[in-house]
Structure 1
Amino acid sequence: MASGEIMQVNIVAADHPVWSGKAQAVMVPALEGSMGILPNHEPVLSLLEQGTVTLTDDQSQSHSFEVSDGFISFDSNKLTIAVEHGQVKDSAKQ
């Protein structure tokens, strides 16, 4: 994978960290509808609604997380997803 095709992702709930690592792509349940974030995306700040965050990590493994209301912030290949509640829904089989 070429340099620049990975972003740092941190998913945090109000009371605990949910997931942290490097990812190739992330889909989030934005208020305006599902939003995809790829490395080198333009900076964005958006509100989230209850739903599922799915991501593909740097090893091409898929992960899903159930989240409640919150927001995302993306800039300089760093994505922060801050939610009221969040938990792992499904993780890739190793």
Structure 2
Amino acid sequence: MATFQLEFVSPEKLLLSRPVEMAVIPAAEGEMGILPGHAPMIVALRGGVISVRENGQETEKLFVAAGFAEITPGRVTILAEEATPVAQLSRADAEARIAACEKALAEAQDAAPEKREAAMARLLSARAMLEAAQAA
């Protein structure tokens, strides 16, 4: 089966760099499946799970809080602010993050719209983290 090079980078390190058959990413507009030969684009990522398929089966699931993906026909580079294997997610950590984000959103109600939107994006990411932790 055809493959493309997937590179997954966080601020700390290169998390993944290898040929894969397919990746599903949490694009800001919705889940997006990527196969070899995909049209070039750059997409923003929301909080969610990136799934990687190799040899006909899912081999990796990583939670990303946010980031960007650069897609070309032969390569996908994911730049994530935070990335954690789904198996290592903690429900308690996700719930604590949700509480902190809800507080920050409440404090941002009188702030500029950009600050409110950023606070809401962090809250939605924390909720996605809880969903991923519960599904693991």
Q: TM-score, normalised by structure 2?
A: 0.59
Equivalent residue number for residue 30 of structure 1: 27
Alignment of 1:31-46 (within 5 A): 31-46=28-43
The residue type paired with residue 56 of structure 2 is S
Residue deviations 1:7-50 (CA, integer Å, cap 9, x gap): 00001111122212111111000000101110001101100011
Q: Secondary structure at the match of 1:21?
A: strand
Q: Which runs of 4+ in 1 moved over 4 A?
A: none
- The structure with higher relative contact order (CA 8 Å, sep 6+) is 1
The structure 1 residue matched to 2:49, chosen from 22, 29, 52, is 52
Which is higher, the Rg of structure 1 or of structure 2? 2
Structure 2 gap ranges (5+): 88-136
The residue type paired with residue 36 of structure 1 is G
Percent identity of paired positions between Structure 1 and Structure 2? 28
User: How big is the shift at 1:75?
Assistant: 1.2
Residue deviations 1:51-89 (CA, integer Å, cap 9, x gap): 1000102x3341100111100001131100000011222
Matched, 1:7 2:4: yes
Structure 1 gap ranges (5+): none
**C-alpha distance in structure 2 between counterparts of 1:27 and 1:61, whole Å:** 13
- The size of the alignment, in residue pairs, is 86
**Pairwise CA RMSD of aligned residues?**
1.2
Higher strand share: 1
The structure 1 residue matched to 2:70, chosen from 63, 70, 73, is 73
Q: Secondary structure at the match of 1:80?
A: strand
Q: TM-score, normalised by structure 1?
A: 0.84
